[in-house]
Amino acid sequence: MLVATSGGHLTQLNLLRPRIVPRDDVLWVTDATAQSESMLAGQRVVDLPNRAPRAYLGILRDYVRLCGVFRRESIDHVYSTGAQMALSAMLAAKTFGVPFSYIESGTRVRELSATGRVLARVPGINRYVQYPFAADDRWQYALSVFEGFQAVSASPSTVTPRVVVTVGGNAHYGFERLVRSLYAIIPADWSVLWQVGPSDVSDLGISTVKSLPNEQLRAEIAAADLVISHAGTGSILTALQLGKRPIVVPRRAAHGEHVDGHQDDLAAFVASEGLALVREADEITLDDLLESLHWRVASVGDPEPVHLA
């Protein structure tokens, strides 16, 4: 059983799956979104509700639902990258005596997520972080979704760039500051796909989409000359996989754009690796966009499968 909330958590688990579960008899647990339905098309999926962060009563409701799944299915291991539905899956796995492995999100570079802090206190489960320096007596390091990427210089391919602006799949937090800042600086003759989630920018008079099926968004990013993204793991990883070095903009909790400031750490990490240009939503400039047109990302090596005990 592979458990992950749609968005960055699901993107990570789908990317890591060939390394941790190189077999076909898999049952996915996630919430039904355009991304998850597209990414997992043709696979066996159990849908859970898309709940707001830290909806603790929902954890118990999802636990009851998953207990029914365990009774019907022959589950021999549960793997999860979060978020809170990992807690429901852990409780069900404990109830039925099934091993449970939790991989903390790559978004959490130095501090654990709320889910991770809870699971750090649960005995008898396997816990992993995605950065070697974050390992300690409770958390092991085994693998990372950011292995195997390298930024390389390149010449712009077109005079009139194609741009993808994406704020990710979070259904509860918009990112109006980023959309409005970019609207003010992107030249009118550039082609732009605006994926804005729940952000209300209807007054700008631009054509936007709330979300896109995974394959369609990947196709748009693959064809783009420039990707501008919130500092979400799924959005950054998708850009890197498709050879793009994105401009990454962290959300700010003070502006109601996320539950906390954890995107800062991920933004700082990808910037330190040269895999992204990081800017504040209110400070991004046209020069930043033009400079980023001169970079691409290449895949380096082929990460090996990993056995998570």
Give me the CATH number covering residue 19: 3.40.50.2000
124 and 192 share one domain:
no
161 and 257 share one domain:
yes
169 and 292 share one domain:
yes
Domain limit, last residue, from 141, 158, 192: 141
Q: Which helix (H) or strand (E) holds 52?
A: none
Adjacency order of strands within the sheet including 162-166:
208-209, 191-195, 162-166, 226-230, 247-249, 277-278
Position 171 pLDDT exceeds 80: no
Low-confidence winner among 118-122, 154-158, 279-283 (lowest mean pLDDT): 154-158
Position 77 pLDDT exceeds 90: yes
Q: Which two tokens stand for residue 292?
A: 């980023």
Identify the pLDDT of residue 250.
Answer: 94
177 and 63 share one domain:
no
Q: Measured between alpha carbons, how far is 16 from 139 in angstroms, rounded to an integer?
A: 18
Is 81 within a domain? yes
Buried b (16+ CB within 10 A) or exposed e, 160-176: ebbbbbbbbbbbebbbb
Mean pLDDT of the chain: 93
Identify the pLDDT of residue 253.
Answer: 85
Give the Cβ contact number of residue 229 at 10 Å: 25
Q: Measured between alpha carbons, how far is 79 from 164 in angstroms, rounded to an integer?
A: 32
Identify the pLDDT of residue 170.
Answer: 75
* Boundaries of domain holding 207: 149-299
Q: What is the share, in percent, of the chain residues with pLDDT greater than 70?
A: 99
42 and 116 share one domain:
yes
Identify the pLDDT of residue 240.
Answer: 96
Q: Name the pTM for this structure.
A: 0.78
Q: What does the DSSP assignment read for 76-123?
A: --EEEEESTHHHHHHHHHHHTT--EEEE--TT-SSS--HHHHHHTT-T
Q: Which two tokens stand for residue 88?
A: 């429901």
163 and 283 share one domain:
yes
Radius of gyration of the chain (CA): 19
Position 38 pLDDT exceeds 80: yes
User: Which pLDDT band, with edges at 50, 70 and 90, does 51 fall under?
Assistant: confident
Identify the pLDDT of residue 7.
Answer: 87
Mean pLDDT to the nearest integer, 109-121: 93
Domain limit, last residue, from 83, 110, 141: 141
Identify the pLDDT of residue 23.
Answer: 86
Provide the number of structural domains found in the chain: 2
Position 54 pLDDT exceeds 90: no
Identify the pLDDT of residue 163.
Answer: 98
Is 305 within a domain? no
What pairs with residue 78 in β-bridges? 100
Query: Any idea which residue has 């800017």 for tokens?
Result: 279
Q: Which helix (H) or strand (E) holds 182?
A: helix 176-185
User: Which pLDDT band, with edges at 50, 70 and 90, does 256 fall under?
Assistant: confident
Mean pLDDT to the nearest integer, 89-95: 98
Instruction: Say if CB 294 and CB 153 are below 8 A apart.
Output: yes
Identify the pLDDT of residue 195.
Answer: 96
Is 71 within a domain? yes
pLDDT (tens digit, 9 = 90+) per residue, 183-221?
A: 999 999 999 999 999 999 999 999 999 999 889 999 999
Domain limit, last residue, from 118, 141, 164: 141
Nearest to 245 by CA among 169, 121, 150, 138: 150
Mean pLDDT to the nearest integer, 88-108: 96
